[in-house]
A and B are shown apart, each in its own frame.
Chain A
Amino acid sequence: MNTHSAPLIAKNLVKRYGEQTMALDGVDLRIEPGESVAIMGPSGSGKTTLLHSLAGVITPTSGDVQWKDREMSSMRDGERTRLRRNDFGFVFQSGQLLPELPCVENVALPLMLQGTSRVEAVNRAMPILAQLGLGGMESRRPGELSGGQAQRVAIARALITTPGVVFADEPTGALDQHTSAEVMEILTSSTRAYGASLVVVTHDPNVARWCSRTVMMQDGKIFSEFRAPSDATTQESAR
C-alpha cells in the first residue's frame, strides 16, 4: 500500500510574472489517488507552470495547492523541498540523470538523499531496474544507454521512494514515436502498480491518450477536460 497516497487539490491558482504575464489565471484541479492526468495545451498555455505549482516547485501568486490536508503556500522552502523528496517523483524530458553515476546509483540517489544507507538504497534499486526491463544494466552509465532506456532509469528513480504523485514534464519529448509508446506504457503501468498518481505535461495527444483524464489549457486557464474512452490495458490490446 502506498502510504503517500492522497488527493492533490489546486484551488484558484494564479501565477503572475512581472506586470503583464499571467501564466496561470484561476486554475482549479483535483487529482485523485492513483489517477493519471495529462495536461495539454499549446506553448505558453501555462502547462509547466501548473505542474511546477502542483509539485511545490514554485509558489503561486494567489490560490493554493493542498496535499495531505496541508496547504503548500504555508510551507517554508525547506518543507517543500522535503515534500518533493519524500512524497513526489519527477521525470523530465532530459538532463535528469547524473552522467557520472551508474544507473543503479542514479535510481538509489533519492533514497540516499532521504538518509538511507547506500547499501540498502542500492539493494532496493536493483529489483526496480529489473522490473522495468533493465536487469543487467545496473553498472552502465547514462551515456551508454539509449534514450528509452535512460527514461526507464528516470522512471525507476521517480518510483523508488514510493511517491504519492509522479510529475512528468514532456517525458517522451526527445524520443521517437515507438519508444515514446514503450516509455508511456511503462510509466503508466508502473505508477499504477505503485499506487501513485501521475501528472504528465505534454503537447502530444498520443502521449495524453495513455492517461485516464486529459485537461486542456490555454492562456493560463483550463478550458476543457475529458476522460479517456479506454484505459491503458485496452490501448495495449488495440496495438
Chain B
Amino acid sequence: MNLLHLWVLLRKRTREANRDFGDPGAITGVLTVIAFASVTALLLVVVGGVGAFAARAELPNASENAQTYLVFAYIAAGLLLVPLATMGGAAARLIVARRDERLANLRLLGATTSQITGLSALDAASQSIAGALLGAVAYFGLIPLVGLVPFEGHGFGFAELWVGAPLLVGVVVAVVVLGIASAVLGLRRVVVSPLGVTKRESTPGLGAIRLAVLAVALIAMVVATSTPAASIAFIAIVLVIGLATLNVVGPFFVGVVGRLYVSGARSAPDLLAARRIIDDPKTAWRSVGGVALATFIAGLASVMALFSKASNPEEQLFMTDVSTGGYLTLAIAGVLAAISTGVTQAGRVISQREQYRNLHLAGAEVEVLEKARMRETVVPMVAVVGLALGASALFMLPVLGAGFFSSIPVLLRFVASVVFAVGLVLLGAGASRGLARAAAAL
C-alpha cells in the first residue's frame, strides 16, 4: 500500500469513527478549515484594499490626499499582518493537536520518518487547501460588502478591489504552504521520541529581557518625539513600535498576571485557570493578543476625531475617511481575534481532553471545568486590554496630549470599540463550549 492509499484509508476510518462515536475531534477539522478560510479571505481583502488605494492614487484626477490614503492603507495592512499570521499559526497548531498520538503509534509500528512526514503533510495539505479555496470563494462574497464602505465620497467597485488571478493564486498557495510547513516542522517530537510522555517540568519563566524590549521602545519613542508630529512617517514609526512591543511584552505580561492570579486564587476554577495561564503564557497571550491589537487600533480610530475640526470640506472628508478606515481595520482585527481565540481554545480543549474526562469522572461538575476554561481567557483578556490602553496612552500622549481623555464622544467611541472587540473574543472562546462538554463526557 503506498502512502497516498494509506492516508486515504486512515482518513476514511477517522470519518467513520467520528460518525459512529461522536468524536469531538471531528469539529477540529471544521475549525481548521474555517481558520484557514478566514486567513485567506481577509488577507485577500486587505491586499485588495491596498491595491484599490494604489490604483486611485495613480489616476490622472487623483485627489491631493490620494498618496496619504495609500500610506494609511499600508499602515492598516501592516497592523493586520500580525494577527493574520498569528491566526494562521493557530490553525496550523490545531492540525497537529490531535495527530501526534496517532502518528506516534504508526512510528512504533515501524513507519519511517518519511512516511510520517508524508502523512502529516497530506493531512495538513487537505485541510489548508480546503480552507484556502473556501477563503478565496468567501473573498468574492466580501468584495461587494467592503466596496460599500465609502472613501473619498464613494465606495470601491469590484474591479478596484479585485487582486487579480496571479495574486489570488499566490495567496492561496502561501496559506497552504504555511499549513504544511507548520505541520511538518512540528513533527520532531513524534519522530524522535514516539514513546515520549510529555514531561511537564517547572515552566521556565519568560525572560525579563522582554521588559528590556519595552525599555528600548520607550527610548526610541523619546527620540521619535523630537520629529515634528505632523509627519505621517512619524505616526507609522509610532504604530510599528507600539505593535512590536505589545507582541513581545504580551506573553511576559500574561505570565505575571497569571502569578498574581494564582496567589489570590481561592476556588477550584480560579486555581485551574491561573495554573494553566502560568503553565503556558504564550498560548494564553495568543488567545487574547488580538484584543490588545484591536484596543490599540480602537484608540487610534477614536483619536482621529480630535482632528475633526477641519477648515474645508476636503479636509473634513479626509479626516472622516481616516476614522472610517480605522474602524474598518478594527472590525477586521476584531473578527481575526475572535476566530483566533476560538481556534486556540479548541486546540487547548483537545490537548486537555483526557484531563477533562478524568476530572469529570472523579466528580468535577462540567460547569466548574467550563468556568475554569472561560476564566483562562477572560482574566488575561482584561489584563491585556489594560496593557493595550496603557500602550496607547504611552505612545499617543506625547503626540496628542491629554486632549484624548477630555473628549467624551471620543472616549465613548473608544469604549464601544473595545467592548465590540472583547465581545467578539468572548464569542470565540464560548464557541468551544460544546467541544469541552463533549470532551468531559463519560
Measured CB to CB, the residues of A under 8 A from B are 52, 57-58, 78, 81-86, 88-90, 92, 95-96, 98-101, 105, 109-110, 112-113, 117-119, 141-144
Q: Main SS of chain A's interface residues?
A: helix
10 inter-chain pairs at a CB distance below 8 angstroms, sorted by A residue, are A85-B363, A85-B364, A90-B358, A92-B358, A100-B279, A101-B272, A113-B268, A113-B368, A141-B200, A143-B201
- Cα A88 to Cα B363 with chains together (Å): 9
Central interface residue in B200, B268, B362, by most chain A CB within 10 Å: B362
Given contacts A100-B275, A100-B276, A118-B265, contact A84 B358 (CB under 8 A): no
Task: Assess whether B292 is interfacial by the CB under 8 Å rule.
Answer: no
Task: Assess whether B355 is interfacial by the CB under 8 Å rule.
Answer: yes
- Report whether B278 and A113 are in contact in the complex, using a CB–CB cutoff of 8 Å: no
- Report whether A84 and B275 are in contact in the complex, using a CB–CB cutoff of 8 Å: no
- Note all chain A residues with C-beta closer than 8 A to B267: 112, 118
Which residue on A lies nearest to B267, using beta carbons? A112
- Cα A95 to Cα B101 with chains together (Å): 14
Question: Could you tell me which residues of chain B, from 155 to 207, have a CB within 8 Å of some CB in chain A?
Answer: 198-202
- Cα A225 to Cα B119 with chains together (Å): 49
Which residue on A lies nearest to B369, using beta carbons? A113
Which residue on B lies nearest to A58, using beta carbons? B442
- Report whether A113 and B363 are in contact in the complex, using a CB–CB cutoff of 8 Å: yes
Q: Mark each residue of chain B from 30 to 68: 1 if its CB lies under 8 Å from any CB of chain A, else 0.
A: 000000000000000000000000000000000000000
- Report whether A84 and B362 are in contact in the complex, using a CB–CB cutoff of 8 Å: yes
Nearest CB on B from A90, distance (A): 5
| 3 closest A-B pairs by CB | A85-B363, A143-B200, A99-B200
Which residue on B lies nearest to A94, using beta carbons? B197
- Report whether B363 and A105 are in contact in the complex, using a CB–CB cutoff of 8 Å: no
Which residue on B lies nearest to A122, using beta carbons? B271
- Cα A89 to Cα B362 with chains together (Å): 7
- Report whether B268 and A101 are in contact in the complex, using a CB–CB cutoff of 8 Å: no
- Report whether B363 and A96 are in contact in the complex, using a CB–CB cutoff of 8 Å: no
Which residue on A lies nearest to B363, using beta carbons? A85
Given contacts A95-B355, A100-B279, contact A110 B200 (CB under 8 A): no
- Report whether B278 and A82 are in contact in the complex, using a CB–CB cutoff of 8 Å: no
Question: Could you tell me which residues of chain B, from 346 to 372, have a CB within 8 Å of some CB in chain A?
Answer: 354-355, 358-365, 368
- Report whether B198 and A96 are in contact in the complex, using a CB–CB cutoff of 8 Å: no
Which of B202, B272, B363, B364 touches A144 (beta carbons < 8 Å)? B202
- Note all chain A residues with C-beta closer than 8 A to B5: none
Task: Assess whether B266 is interfacial by the CB under 8 Å rule.
Answer: yes
- Report whether B364 and A113 are in contact in the complex, using a CB–CB cutoff of 8 Å: yes
- Report whether A90 and B361 are in contact in the complex, using a CB–CB cutoff of 8 Å: yes
- Note all chain B residues with C-beta closer than 8 A to A57: 361, 442
- Note all chain B residues with C-beta closer than 8 A to A105: 271, 275
- Note all chain A residues with C-beta closer than 8 A to B368: 113
Given pairs A90-B361, A143-B200, 4 additional interface contacts (CB within 8 A): A85-B364, A100-B200, A143-B198, A144-B199
- Report whether B363 and A141 are in contact in the complex, using a CB–CB cutoff of 8 Å: no
- Cα A112 to Cα B273 with chains together (Å): 14
Which residue on B lies nearest to A117, using beta carbons? B266
- Report whether B363 and A81 are in contact in the complex, using a CB–CB cutoff of 8 Å: yes
Which of B200, B354, B355, B360 touches A81 (beta carbons < 8 Å)? B360
Q: Mark each residue of chain B from 233 to 250: 1 if its CB lies under 8 Å from any CB of chain A, else 0.
A: 000000000000000000
Q: Mark each residue of chain B from 362 to 390: 1 if its CB lies under 8 Å from any CB of chain A, else 0.
A: 11110010000000000000000000000
Which residue on B lies nearest to A99, using beta carbons? B200
Nearest CB on A from B415, distance (A): 34
Which residue on B lies nearest to A111, using beta carbons? B268
- Note all chain B residues with C-beta closer than 8 A to A141: 200-202
- Cα A14 to Cα B271 with chains together (Å): 40
Central interface residue in A82, A88, A118, by most chain B CB within 10 Å: A118
Which of B202, B275, B358, B362 touches A101 (beta carbons < 8 Å)? B275
- Report whether B268 and A78 are in contact in the complex, using a CB–CB cutoff of 8 Å: no
- Note all chain B residues with C-beta closer than 8 A to A144: 199, 201-202
- Note all chain A residues with C-beta closer than 8 A to B358: 90, 92, 95-96
Nearest CB on A from B366, distance (A): 8
- Note all chain B residues with C-beta closer than 8 A to A52: 442
- Report whether B360 and A100 are in contact in the complex, using a CB–CB cutoff of 8 Å: no
- Note all chain A residues with C-beta closer than 8 A to B362: 84-85, 89-90, 96, 110
- Report whether A98 and B355 are in contact in the complex, using a CB–CB cutoff of 8 Å: yes
- Cα A109 to Cα B268 with chains together (Å): 7
- Note all chain B residues with C-beta closer than 8 A to A81: 360, 363-365
- Report whether A118 and B266 are in contact in the complex, using a CB–CB cutoff of 8 Å: yes
- Report whether B275 and A110 are in contact in the complex, using a CB–CB cutoff of 8 Å: no
Which of A89, A98, A143 touches B275 (beta carbons < 8 Å)? A98
Which of A78, A84, A86, A117 touches B361 (beta carbons < 8 Å)? A84
- Cα A117 to Cα B280 with chains together (Å): 25
